[in-house]
Structures are given as structure tokens and as C-alpha cells.
Amino acid sequence: MHPKEDFRSAATPEFLAFLEEDIHQEPKPLTRAPIRGGVQIAFWSLRTYIVIMLIMVAIGFTRGIH
């Protein structure tokens, strides 16, 4: 087996230094990206489609009860 493929080998000092530095970092806060243009139109179209489909299912269900 090639030495780089041996995952059981001891951690190198460089890796341990990186790990020690990386552990103490705070995560960056996430922010929402503004939705603009065509994406906003697509989202509103999808919402409208869902509402229309729910109305059609409700109408079909009420007519099917009789």
C-alpha cells in the first residue's frame, strides 16, 4: 500500500496545527440573497399554481362526495 493511502497513519504536525487553528473559528453568519427579476416571478407563479390546484382539488372532492 502506498504511504499516502494508509489512513491509519499518525497525523502530521502541519495537520494538527491547521486543526487547532480551525477549531476555534466562529462560523460566519448567513444572510439571504435578495430575490430579483425572473426568479421572483417564477416563485409567485409557483405559489399561484399551487393555490389554483388546491382549489381544484377541493372542488373535485366536494363534487365527489355527492
Please write the tens of the pLDDT for every residue from 12-62.
888 888 877 767 677 778 898 898 999 999 999 999 999 999 999 999 999
At 45, which amino acid appears? S
Say what the pLDDT of residue 8 is.
66
Average pLDDT over residues 4-8: 63
pLDDT at 15: 81
Terminal C-alpha separation, the chain:
74
Distances (CA, A) of 24 to 18, 19, 27, 31, 55: 11, 9, 10, 22, 53
* pLDDT the model gives residue 16: 80
pTM of the complete model: 0.50
- 35 three-class SS: coil
